[in-house]
Chain A
Protein backbone atom coordinates (compact mmCIF):
# COMPACT_ATOMS: atom_id res chain seq x y z
CA UNK A 1 0.00 0.00 0.00
CA UNK A 2 1.63 3.21 -1.10
CA UNK A 3 1.36 6.51 0.75
CA UNK A 4 -1.75 8.60 0.04
CA UNK A 5 -0.80 12.05 -1.29
CA UNK A 6 -1.78 15.05 0.82
CA UNK A 7 -4.58 17.19 -0.62
CA UNK A 8 -2.32 20.23 -0.72
CA UNK A 9 1.01 21.61 0.44
CA UNK A 10 -0.13 24.02 3.13
CA UNK A 11 3.21 25.76 3.61
CA UNK A 12 4.89 29.03 2.82
CA UNK A 13 8.40 27.57 2.58
CA UNK A 14 10.35 24.46 1.72
CA UNK A 15 13.32 24.59 4.09
CA UNK A 16 13.98 20.86 4.28
CA UNK A 17 12.61 17.34 4.03
CA UNK A 18 12.42 17.10 7.82
CA UNK A 19 9.18 19.10 8.27
CA UNK A 20 7.36 17.24 5.45
CA UNK A 21 4.91 14.41 6.02
CA UNK A 22 4.95 11.30 3.82
CA UNK A 23 1.70 12.51 2.24
CA UNK A 24 3.23 15.88 1.35
CA UNK A 25 6.27 14.18 -0.19
CA UNK A 26 3.94 11.96 -2.22
CA UNK A 27 2.01 15.02 -3.45
CA UNK A 28 5.23 16.73 -4.58
CA UNK A 29 6.40 13.58 -6.38
CA UNK A 30 3.00 13.03 -8.05
CA UNK A 31 2.94 16.65 -9.21
CA UNK A 32 6.53 16.44 -10.47
CA UNK A 33 5.67 13.29 -12.39
CA UNK A 34 3.03 15.24 -14.35
CA UNK A 35 5.39 18.22 -14.82
CA UNK A 36 7.85 15.99 -16.72
CA UNK A 37 5.59 15.98 -19.74
CA UNK A 38 5.95 19.74 -20.28
CA UNK A 39 9.58 19.26 -21.35
CA UNK A 40 8.40 17.10 -24.26
CA UNK A 41 6.01 19.72 -25.68
CA UNK A 42 6.76 21.86 -28.70
CA UNK A 43 6.17 24.92 -26.45
CA UNK A 44 7.85 24.10 -23.14
CA UNK A 45 6.02 26.69 -21.08
CA UNK A 46 2.80 26.88 -19.10
CA UNK A 47 1.25 30.04 -17.61
CA UNK A 48 0.81 28.73 -14.06
CA UNK A 49 3.18 31.23 -12.37
CA UNK A 50 2.64 34.15 -14.74
CA UNK A 51 3.33 37.39 -12.90
CA UNK A 52 5.26 35.75 -10.06
CA UNK A 53 8.82 36.85 -9.36
CA UNK A 54 11.51 34.48 -8.16
CA UNK A 55 14.90 35.58 -6.82
CA UNK A 56 17.62 32.94 -6.99
CA UNK A 57 19.94 33.91 -4.18
CA UNK A 58 23.00 31.73 -4.63
CA UNK A 59 25.56 32.64 -2.01
CA UNK A 60 27.65 29.58 -2.83
CA UNK A 61 28.83 28.29 -6.20
CA UNK A 62 26.32 26.17 -8.05
CA UNK A 63 25.74 25.49 -11.70
CA UNK A 64 23.41 22.53 -11.91
CA UNK A 65 21.00 23.53 -9.15
CA UNK A 66 20.82 27.17 -10.17
CA UNK A 67 20.22 26.34 -13.84
CA UNK A 68 17.68 23.75 -12.86
CA UNK A 69 15.71 26.28 -10.78
CA UNK A 70 15.98 28.85 -13.55
CA UNK A 71 14.67 26.43 -16.17
CA UNK A 72 11.83 25.40 -13.82
CA UNK A 73 10.88 29.04 -13.22
CA UNK A 74 10.90 29.85 -16.93
CA UNK A 75 8.81 26.79 -17.83
CA UNK A 76 6.16 28.00 -15.37
CA UNK A 77 6.28 31.57 -16.82
CA UNK A 78 7.65 33.15 -13.62
CA UNK A 79 10.06 36.07 -13.91
CA UNK A 80 13.38 35.11 -12.40
CA UNK A 81 16.42 37.01 -11.26
CA UNK A 82 19.66 35.33 -10.38
CA UNK A 83 22.04 36.68 -7.87
CA UNK A 84 25.61 35.64 -7.43
CA UNK A 85 27.44 36.56 -4.26
CA UNK A 86 30.68 37.56 -5.95
CA UNK A 87 29.16 40.45 -7.91
CA UNK A 88 26.95 41.85 -5.15
CA UNK A 89 26.95 43.92 -1.99
CA UNK A 90 27.84 40.77 -0.07
CA UNK A 91 31.42 41.46 -1.12
CA UNK A 92 30.95 44.95 0.41
CA UNK A 93 30.04 43.46 3.78
CA UNK A 94 26.23 43.42 3.75
CA UNK A 95 24.67 40.76 6.01
CA UNK A 96 22.45 38.01 4.64
CA UNK A 97 19.40 39.40 6.43
CA UNK A 98 19.94 42.89 5.02
CA UNK A 99 20.46 41.50 1.52
CA UNK A 100 17.25 39.48 1.83
CA UNK A 101 15.21 42.38 3.26
CA UNK A 102 16.38 44.63 0.45
CA UNK A 103 15.43 42.05 -2.14
CA UNK A 104 12.07 41.54 -0.48
CA UNK A 105 11.43 45.28 -0.66
CA UNK A 106 11.11 44.67 -4.43
CA UNK A 107 8.18 42.29 -3.75
CA UNK A 108 9.34 38.94 -5.06
CA UNK A 109 7.08 35.93 -4.44
CA UNK A 110 9.84 33.36 -3.97
CA UNK A 111 13.41 33.41 -2.74
CA UNK A 112 15.48 30.35 -3.62
CA UNK A 113 18.56 30.29 -1.45
CA UNK A 114 21.82 28.36 -1.44
CA UNK A 115 24.08 29.23 1.45
CA UNK A 116 27.27 27.90 2.97
CA UNK A 117 25.78 28.03 6.48
CA UNK A 118 23.21 25.56 7.76
CA UNK A 119 20.00 27.26 8.84
CA UNK A 120 20.26 30.33 6.57
CA UNK A 121 17.02 29.43 4.70
CA UNK A 122 15.22 28.88 8.01
CA UNK A 123 16.24 32.30 9.23
CA UNK A 124 14.99 33.95 6.03
CA UNK A 125 11.76 31.94 6.13
CA UNK A 126 11.01 33.38 9.56
CA UNK A 127 11.57 37.02 8.64
CA UNK A 128 10.38 37.19 5.01
CA UNK A 129 6.86 37.22 3.61
CA UNK A 130 8.09 35.57 0.38
CA UNK A 131 8.18 31.80 0.06
CA UNK A 132 11.69 30.54 0.80
CA UNK A 133 13.07 27.43 -0.91
CA UNK A 134 16.24 25.83 0.39
CA UNK A 135 18.60 25.03 -2.50
CA UNK A 136 21.24 23.67 -0.11
CA UNK A 137 22.35 25.02 3.27
CA UNK A 138 25.81 24.03 4.44
CA UNK A 139 26.00 20.35 5.35
CA UNK A 140 22.37 20.39 6.51
CA UNK A 141 19.68 19.82 3.85
CA UNK A 142 19.12 19.92 0.09
CA UNK A 143 15.46 19.00 -0.16
CA UNK A 144 14.92 19.34 -3.92
CA UNK A 145 17.90 17.03 -4.56
CA UNK A 146 16.37 14.33 -2.36
CA UNK A 147 13.00 14.81 -4.08
CA UNK A 148 14.52 14.44 -7.56
CA UNK A 149 16.43 11.35 -6.45
CA UNK A 150 13.20 9.88 -5.09
CA UNK A 151 11.32 10.69 -8.30
CA UNK A 152 14.05 8.98 -10.34
CA UNK A 153 13.87 5.84 -8.19
CA UNK A 154 10.07 5.84 -8.30
CA UNK A 155 9.99 6.15 -12.09
CA UNK A 156 12.15 3.02 -12.39
CA UNK A 157 10.73 0.97 -9.53
CA UNK A 158 7.15 2.22 -9.23
CA UNK A 159 7.52 2.81 -5.49
CA UNK A 160 10.01 3.77 -2.80
CA UNK A 161 8.58 1.39 -0.27
CA UNK A 162 10.86 -1.57 0.48
CA UNK A 163 13.66 -0.34 -1.81
CA UNK A 164 17.13 -0.98 -0.41
CA UNK A 165 19.16 2.18 -1.05
CA UNK A 166 22.90 2.39 -0.35
CA UNK A 167 24.45 5.85 -0.01
CA UNK A 168 28.24 5.84 -0.12
CA UNK A 169 30.76 8.63 0.24
CA UNK A 170 31.48 11.77 2.21
CA UNK A 171 28.63 11.62 4.73
CA UNK A 172 30.30 14.29 6.85
CA UNK A 173 30.11 17.18 4.40
CA UNK A 174 27.03 16.12 2.49
CA UNK A 175 23.66 17.84 2.72
CA UNK A 176 22.37 15.44 0.10
CA UNK A 177 22.71 12.47 2.43
CA UNK A 178 20.68 14.04 5.26
CA UNK A 179 17.76 14.98 3.03
CA UNK A 180 17.90 11.63 1.26
CA UNK A 181 17.97 9.52 4.42
CA UNK A 182 15.08 11.51 5.91
CA UNK A 183 12.99 11.25 2.75
CA UNK A 184 13.69 7.62 1.91
CA UNK A 185 13.13 6.32 5.43
CA UNK A 186 9.90 8.35 5.72
CA UNK A 187 8.66 6.75 2.49
CA UNK A 188 9.41 3.22 3.64
CA UNK A 189 12.74 2.54 1.92
CA UNK A 190 15.61 0.83 3.75
CA UNK A 191 18.67 3.05 3.75
CA UNK A 192 22.26 1.97 4.29
CA UNK A 193 25.16 4.38 4.37
CA UNK A 194 28.88 3.68 4.14
CA UNK A 195 32.02 5.80 4.39
CA UNK A 196 35.49 5.73 5.86
CA UNK A 197 35.20 6.10 9.65
CA UNK A 198 36.65 9.60 9.44
CA UNK A 199 33.70 10.72 7.28
CA UNK A 200 30.82 9.32 9.32
CA UNK A 201 29.13 12.02 11.40
CA UNK A 202 28.26 11.04 14.98
CA UNK A 203 24.63 9.99 15.36
CA UNK A 204 23.83 9.63 11.65
CA UNK A 205 21.94 6.37 12.37
CA UNK A 206 19.34 8.42 14.27
CA UNK A 207 18.14 9.81 10.90
CA UNK A 208 16.92 6.31 10.08
CA UNK A 209 19.71 4.35 8.37
CA UNK A 210 22.13 1.46 8.89
CA UNK A 211 25.78 2.49 9.02
CA UNK A 212 28.43 0.32 7.33
CA UNK A 213 32.18 0.64 7.27
CA UNK A 214 32.69 -1.19 3.98
CA UNK A 215 31.08 -0.25 0.68
CA UNK A 216 30.67 -3.96 -0.08
CA UNK A 217 28.39 -4.48 2.92
CA UNK A 218 26.26 -1.47 2.04
CA UNK A 219 25.68 -2.34 -1.61
CA UNK A 220 25.18 -6.10 -1.25
CA UNK A 221 21.75 -6.85 -2.75
CA UNK A 222 20.88 -3.12 -2.99
CA UNK A 223 18.20 -1.84 -5.40
CA UNK A 224 19.81 1.59 -5.70
CA UNK A 225 23.34 2.88 -5.10
CA UNK A 226 23.83 6.62 -4.63
CA UNK A 227 27.44 7.78 -4.70
CA UNK A 228 28.36 11.05 -3.03
CA UNK A 229 31.00 13.42 -4.28
CA UNK A 230 34.28 13.61 -2.45
CA UNK A 231 34.52 17.33 -1.87
CA UNK A 232 38.12 17.66 -2.91
CA UNK A 233 37.99 21.43 -2.32
CA UNK A 234 37.07 20.80 1.33
CA UNK A 235 39.73 18.17 1.84
CA UNK A 236 42.52 20.57 2.76
CA UNK A 237 42.77 18.46 5.85
CA UNK A 238 42.18 15.13 4.19
CA UNK A 239 39.92 12.62 5.85
CA UNK A 240 41.71 9.83 4.01
CA UNK A 241 45.35 9.33 3.04
CA UNK A 242 45.14 9.66 -0.76
CA UNK A 243 42.59 9.87 -3.53
CA UNK A 244 44.00 6.63 -4.91
CA UNK A 245 43.41 4.88 -1.62
CA UNK A 246 39.85 6.21 -1.46
CA UNK A 247 39.24 4.77 -4.92
CA UNK A 248 40.67 1.41 -3.87
CA UNK A 249 38.40 1.10 -0.84
CA UNK A 250 35.26 3.14 -1.56
CA UNK A 251 34.80 3.79 -5.28
CA UNK A 252 31.90 2.20 -7.14
CA UNK A 253 33.64 -0.06 -9.64
CA UNK A 254 32.09 -2.58 -12.05
CA UNK A 255 33.29 -5.41 -9.78
CA UNK A 256 31.65 -3.95 -6.68
CA UNK A 257 28.44 -3.14 -8.55
CA UNK A 258 28.06 -6.89 -9.21
CA UNK A 259 27.31 -7.29 -5.48
CA UNK A 260 24.11 -5.28 -5.85
CA UNK A 261 20.87 -6.42 -7.45
CA UNK A 262 21.35 -7.15 -11.15
CA UNK A 263 19.36 -4.11 -12.29
CA UNK A 264 20.50 -1.86 -9.44
CA UNK A 265 20.27 1.85 -10.32
CA UNK A 266 23.45 3.91 -10.12
CA UNK A 267 22.94 7.51 -9.03
CA UNK A 268 25.13 10.51 -8.30
CA UNK A 269 24.03 14.07 -7.45
CA UNK A 270 26.96 15.54 -9.41
CA UNK A 271 29.42 16.95 -10.07
CA UNK A 272 31.22 13.61 -10.35
CA UNK A 273 34.89 13.00 -9.66
CA UNK A 274 35.53 10.24 -12.16
CA UNK A 275 38.11 7.81 -10.89
CA UNK A 276 37.65 8.96 -7.27
CA UNK A 277 34.22 7.94 -5.96
CA UNK A 278 32.93 6.45 -9.19
CA UNK A 279 34.56 4.53 -12.02
CA UNK A 280 33.78 5.86 -15.50
CA UNK A 281 32.67 2.40 -16.61
CA UNK A 282 29.91 2.59 -14.02
CA UNK A 283 29.09 6.28 -14.46
CA UNK A 284 28.57 5.75 -18.20
CA UNK A 285 27.24 2.19 -17.90
CA UNK A 286 23.75 0.88 -18.62
CA UNK A 287 22.64 1.05 -14.97
CA UNK A 288 23.52 4.73 -14.59
CA UNK A 289 20.56 7.13 -14.31
CA UNK A 290 22.73 10.14 -13.47
CA UNK A 291 21.54 12.30 -16.36
CA UNK A 292 17.91 11.32 -15.76
CA UNK A 293 18.36 12.76 -12.26
CA UNK A 294 19.21 16.11 -13.85
CA UNK A 295 16.14 15.98 -16.11
CA UNK A 296 13.88 15.06 -13.19
CA UNK A 297 15.35 17.91 -11.13
CA UNK A 298 13.61 20.46 -13.33
CA UNK A 299 10.24 18.71 -12.90
CA UNK A 300 10.66 18.50 -9.12
CA UNK A 301 11.50 22.20 -8.84
CA UNK A 302 8.50 23.08 -11.01
CA UNK A 303 6.30 21.02 -8.69
CA UNK A 304 7.67 22.71 -5.56
CA UNK A 305 7.18 26.22 -7.00
CA UNK A 306 3.69 25.38 -8.23
CA UNK A 307 2.53 23.83 -4.96
CA UNK A 308 4.04 26.53 -2.73
CA UNK A 309 2.31 29.20 -4.85
CA UNK A 310 -0.94 27.73 -3.55
CA UNK A 311 0.32 27.20 -0.03
CA UNK A 312 -0.97 30.45 1.44
CA UNK A 313 -4.54 31.32 2.21
CA UNK A 314 -7.57 29.23 2.84
CA UNK A 315 -8.59 26.38 0.58
CA UNK A 316 -11.44 27.15 -1.79
CA UNK A 317 -13.94 24.86 -3.44
CA UNK A 318 -12.89 23.37 -6.76
Chain B
Protein backbone atom coordinates (compact mmCIF):
# COMPACT_ATOMS: atom_id res chain seq x y z
CA UNK B 1 0.00 0.00 0.00
CA UNK B 2 1.41 3.40 -0.93
CA UNK B 3 -0.12 6.68 0.08
CA UNK B 4 0.70 9.82 -1.87
CA UNK B 5 -0.45 13.25 -0.76
CA UNK B 6 -2.11 15.17 -3.57
CA UNK B 7 -3.11 18.31 -1.63
CA UNK B 8 -2.06 19.50 1.81
CA UNK B 9 -4.06 21.85 4.09
CA UNK B 10 -2.80 24.88 2.19
CA UNK B 11 -3.51 23.20 -1.13
CA UNK B 12 -7.12 22.52 -0.10
CA UNK B 13 -7.60 26.15 0.95
CA UNK B 14 -6.15 27.48 -2.28
CA UNK B 15 -8.31 25.14 -4.36
CA UNK B 16 -11.40 26.32 -2.47
CA UNK B 17 -10.41 30.00 -2.86
CA UNK B 18 -10.14 29.52 -6.60
CA UNK B 19 -13.47 27.70 -6.77
CA UNK B 20 -15.13 30.50 -4.77
CA UNK B 21 -13.74 33.11 -7.18
CA UNK B 22 -15.01 31.13 -10.18
CA UNK B 23 -18.43 30.71 -8.57
CA UNK B 24 -18.77 34.48 -8.07
CA UNK B 25 -17.71 35.16 -11.62
CA UNK B 26 -19.79 32.51 -13.35
CA UNK B 27 -23.02 32.76 -11.33
CA UNK B 28 -23.07 36.52 -11.76
CA UNK B 29 -25.60 37.46 -9.09
CA UNK B 30 -24.30 36.01 -5.83
CA UNK B 31 -27.65 36.80 -4.17
CA UNK B 32 -29.15 33.92 -6.16
CA UNK B 33 -26.51 31.48 -5.01
CA UNK B 34 -27.29 28.66 -2.59
CA UNK B 35 -24.57 26.19 -1.62
CA UNK B 36 -25.76 22.68 -0.76
CA UNK B 37 -23.23 20.23 0.60
CA UNK B 38 -23.66 16.50 0.07
CA UNK B 39 -23.31 14.60 3.36
CA UNK B 40 -20.85 14.10 4.89
CA UNK B 41 -17.74 15.97 3.71
CA UNK B 42 -19.51 18.17 1.19
CA UNK B 43 -21.20 20.04 4.05
CA UNK B 44 -18.11 21.62 5.69
CA UNK B 45 -16.69 22.35 2.22
CA UNK B 46 -19.91 24.20 1.32
CA UNK B 47 -19.67 26.24 4.52
CA UNK B 48 -16.12 27.22 3.71
CA UNK B 49 -16.95 28.23 0.15
CA UNK B 50 -19.85 30.33 1.49
CA UNK B 51 -17.51 32.06 3.94
CA UNK B 52 -15.05 32.87 1.15
CA UNK B 53 -17.79 34.16 -1.14
CA UNK B 54 -19.15 36.27 1.74
CA UNK B 55 -15.72 37.75 2.43
CA UNK B 56 -15.23 38.65 -1.24
CA UNK B 57 -18.69 40.04 -2.03
CA UNK B 58 -20.19 41.07 1.31
CA UNK B 59 -23.06 38.66 0.73
CA UNK B 60 -22.66 35.19 2.26
CA UNK B 61 -24.87 32.70 0.44
CA UNK B 62 -27.08 30.32 2.46
CA UNK B 63 -25.78 26.79 3.02
CA UNK B 64 -27.76 23.55 3.14
CA UNK B 65 -26.97 19.90 3.74
CA UNK B 66 -28.29 17.07 1.59
CA UNK B 67 -28.36 13.38 2.49
CA UNK B 68 -28.77 11.16 -0.56
CA UNK B 69 -28.99 7.77 1.17
CA UNK B 70 -32.69 7.25 0.37
CA UNK B 71 -32.06 7.98 -3.33
CA UNK B 72 -29.01 5.79 -3.93
CA UNK B 73 -28.99 3.26 -6.75
CA UNK B 74 -26.39 0.92 -5.29
CA UNK B 75 -28.67 -0.48 -2.59
CA UNK B 76 -31.95 -2.26 -3.02
CA UNK B 77 -33.10 -4.61 -5.77
CA UNK B 78 -30.10 -4.02 -8.03
CA UNK B 79 -27.70 -5.72 -5.69
CA UNK B 80 -28.09 -9.22 -4.29
CA UNK B 81 -26.21 -8.32 -1.14
CA UNK B 82 -26.50 -4.88 0.25
CA UNK B 83 -26.38 -2.74 3.32
CA UNK B 84 -28.52 0.27 4.04
CA UNK B 85 -26.47 3.44 4.35
CA UNK B 86 -26.74 5.32 7.63
CA UNK B 87 -29.06 8.32 7.27
CA UNK B 88 -27.71 11.79 7.93
CA UNK B 89 -29.52 15.09 8.20
CA UNK B 90 -30.99 16.92 5.24
CA UNK B 91 -31.33 20.58 6.16
CA UNK B 92 -32.32 23.17 3.63
CA UNK B 93 -32.83 26.35 5.67
CA UNK B 94 -34.26 28.31 2.74
CA UNK B 95 -36.28 27.14 -0.25
CA UNK B 96 -34.38 26.04 -3.35
CA UNK B 97 -37.05 27.59 -5.58
CA UNK B 98 -35.56 29.97 -8.12
CA UNK B 99 -32.06 29.76 -6.63
CA UNK B 100 -28.86 28.85 -8.40
CA UNK B 101 -28.05 25.82 -6.29
CA UNK B 102 -24.45 24.71 -6.27
CA UNK B 103 -24.02 21.13 -5.04
CA UNK B 104 -20.73 20.68 -3.20
CA UNK B 105 -19.03 17.31 -2.71
CA UNK B 106 -15.54 16.12 -1.89
CA UNK B 107 -14.91 13.62 -4.72
CA UNK B 108 -16.54 13.15 -8.12
CA UNK B 109 -16.12 9.55 -9.30
CA UNK B 110 -18.87 7.52 -11.02
CA UNK B 111 -21.41 10.36 -10.90
CA UNK B 112 -23.99 8.18 -9.18
CA UNK B 113 -23.97 10.23 -5.99
CA UNK B 114 -24.61 13.38 -8.04
CA UNK B 115 -27.50 11.68 -9.86
CA UNK B 116 -29.02 10.82 -6.50
CA UNK B 117 -28.40 14.37 -5.23
CA UNK B 118 -30.16 15.85 -8.28
CA UNK B 119 -33.21 13.65 -7.67
CA UNK B 120 -33.22 14.55 -3.98
CA UNK B 121 -33.01 18.25 -4.71
CA UNK B 122 -35.86 18.13 -7.24
CA UNK B 123 -38.16 16.84 -4.48
CA UNK B 124 -37.60 20.08 -2.59
CA UNK B 125 -38.58 22.48 -5.32
CA UNK B 126 -37.52 23.95 -8.65
CA UNK B 127 -34.14 25.63 -8.61
CA UNK B 128 -33.37 28.14 -11.38
CA UNK B 129 -30.24 26.11 -12.11
CA UNK B 130 -28.08 23.47 -10.45
CA UNK B 131 -24.28 23.55 -10.62
CA UNK B 132 -21.70 21.13 -9.27
CA UNK B 133 -18.52 21.92 -7.35
CA UNK B 134 -16.12 19.18 -6.24
CA UNK B 135 -12.77 19.35 -4.51
CA UNK B 136 -11.40 16.38 -6.47
CA UNK B 137 -12.43 14.95 -9.84
CA UNK B 138 -10.92 11.49 -10.14
CA UNK B 139 -12.56 10.45 -13.45
CA UNK B 140 -14.28 7.14 -14.33
CA UNK B 141 -17.78 8.53 -14.84
CA UNK B 142 -20.56 5.98 -15.33
CA UNK B 143 -23.22 8.62 -16.03
CA UNK B 144 -23.25 11.71 -18.26
CA UNK B 145 -22.38 14.12 -15.46
CA UNK B 146 -19.66 16.78 -15.31
CA UNK B 147 -18.54 19.22 -12.63
CA UNK B 148 -18.71 22.98 -13.18
CA UNK B 149 -16.09 23.82 -10.56
CA UNK B 150 -13.18 21.50 -9.78
CA UNK B 151 -10.51 21.99 -7.13
CA UNK B 152 -8.08 19.45 -8.52
CA UNK B 153 -8.32 16.86 -11.27
CA UNK B 154 -6.53 13.68 -10.21
CA UNK B 155 -6.09 10.94 -12.81
CA UNK B 156 -6.64 7.61 -11.07
CA UNK B 157 -7.04 3.92 -11.70
CA UNK B 158 -10.15 2.07 -10.48
CA UNK B 159 -7.98 0.16 -8.04
CA UNK B 160 -6.81 3.36 -6.37
CA UNK B 161 -8.58 5.09 -3.56
CA UNK B 162 -8.91 8.86 -3.16
CA UNK B 163 -9.14 9.97 0.45
CA UNK B 164 -10.31 13.46 1.32
CA UNK B 165 -9.91 14.53 4.93
CA UNK B 166 -11.40 17.78 6.19
CA UNK B 167 -10.68 19.13 9.62
CA UNK B 168 -14.38 19.44 10.64
CA UNK B 169 -14.95 15.69 10.11
CA UNK B 170 -11.55 14.08 10.42
CA UNK B 171 -9.36 16.35 12.51
CA UNK B 172 -6.79 16.49 9.68
CA UNK B 173 -6.95 17.97 6.24
CA UNK B 174 -5.69 17.06 2.80
CA UNK B 175 -6.17 14.77 -0.18
CA UNK B 176 -4.36 11.47 -0.55
CA UNK B 177 -4.14 8.84 -3.26
CA UNK B 178 -3.80 5.27 -2.03
CA UNK B 179 -2.79 2.38 -4.24
CA UNK B 180 -2.18 -1.30 -3.74
CA UNK B 181 1.35 -2.29 -4.65
CA UNK B 182 1.63 -5.62 -6.45
CA UNK B 183 3.83 -8.23 -4.78
Q: Verify B123–A314 contact, CB threshold 8 A.
A: no
Please judge, given known A-B contacts A34-B89, A37-B90, whether A46 and B81 are in contact too, CB under 8 Å: no
18 A–B pairs (Cβ distance < 8 Å), ordered by A: A27-B86, A34-B87, A34-B89, A34-B90, A37-B90, A37-B91, A41-B124, A42-B124, A43-B124, A45-B123, A46-B123, A48-B76, A51-B76, A51-B77, A309-B76, A310-B83, A313-B83, A314-B81
From B69, B82, B86, B89, contact of A37 by CB (8 A):
B89
Chain B residues contacting A316 (CB-CB under 8 Å) are 79, 81-83
Q: Verify B84–A43 contact, CB threshold 8 A.
A: no
At the interface, is chain A mostly helix, strand, loop or mixed? loop
Q: Quick check: is B155 within 8 A (CB to CB) of the other chain? A: no
What 1/0 flags go to A3-40 for Cβ under 8 Å of B?
A: 00101110000000000000000010011001101100
Q: Quick check: is A255 within 8 A (CB to CB) of the other chain? A: no
What 1/0 flags go to A297-318 for Cβ under 8 Å of B?
A: 0000000001101101111101
Give chain A's interface residues, CB within 8 Å of chain B.
5, 7-9, 27, 30-31, 34-35, 37-38, 41-43, 45-52, 76, 306-307, 309-310, 312-316, 318
Q: Which residue of B lies closest to A317 (CB)?
A: B83
Q: Verify B71–A8 contact, CB threshold 8 A.
A: no
Chain B residues contacting A312 (CB-CB under 8 Å) are 81
Q: Verify A48–B70 contact, CB threshold 8 A.
A: yes
Chain A residues contacting B76 (CB-CB under 8 Å) are 48-51, 309
What 1/0 flags go to B117-140 for Cβ under 8 Å of A?
A: 001000111000000000000000
Q: Verify A41–B88 contact, CB threshold 8 A.
A: no
Q: Verify A313–B81 contact, CB threshold 8 A.
A: yes
Q: Verify A47–B70 contact, CB threshold 8 A.
A: yes
Q: Quick check: is B182 within 8 A (CB to CB) of the other chain? A: no
Give the Cβ gap from B102 to chain A, nearest Cβ, in Å. 21
What 1/0 flags go to B62-85 for Cβ under 8 Å of A?
A: 000001011100011101111111
Classify chain B: how many residues form its interface, as a range: 20 to 34
Give chain B's interface residues, CB within 8 Å of chain A.
67, 69-71, 75-77, 79-91, 119, 123-125
Chain B residues contacting A48 (CB-CB under 8 Å) are 69-71, 76
At the interface, is chain B mostly helix, strand, loop or mixed? loop
Chain A residues contacting B125 (CB-CB under 8 Å) are 42
Please judge, given known A-B contacts A35-B87, A48-B76, whether A310 and B82 are in contact too, CB under 8 Å: yes
Give the Cβ gap from A300 to chain B, nearest Cβ, in Å. 13
Additional 8 contacts, C-beta under 8 A, given A27-B86, A34-B67: A5-B86, A34-B87, A34-B88, A37-B90, A46-B123, A47-B71, A48-B69, A312-B81
Chain B residues contacting A5 (CB-CB under 8 Å) are 86
Q: Verify A310–B70 contact, CB threshold 8 A.
A: no
Chain A residues contacting B87 (CB-CB under 8 Å) are 30-31, 34-35, 306
Q: Verify B123–A42 contact, CB threshold 8 A.
A: yes
A7 to B86, CA, bound (A): 8
Q: Which residue of A lies closest to B75 (CB)?
A: A310
A45 to B70, CA, bound (A): 10
A42 to B124, CA, bound (A): 6
Chain B residues contacting A310 (CB-CB under 8 Å) are 75, 82-84
A197 to B123, CA, bound (A): 54
Q: Which residue of B lies closest to A314 (CB)?
A: B81
A316 to B84, CA, bound (A): 10
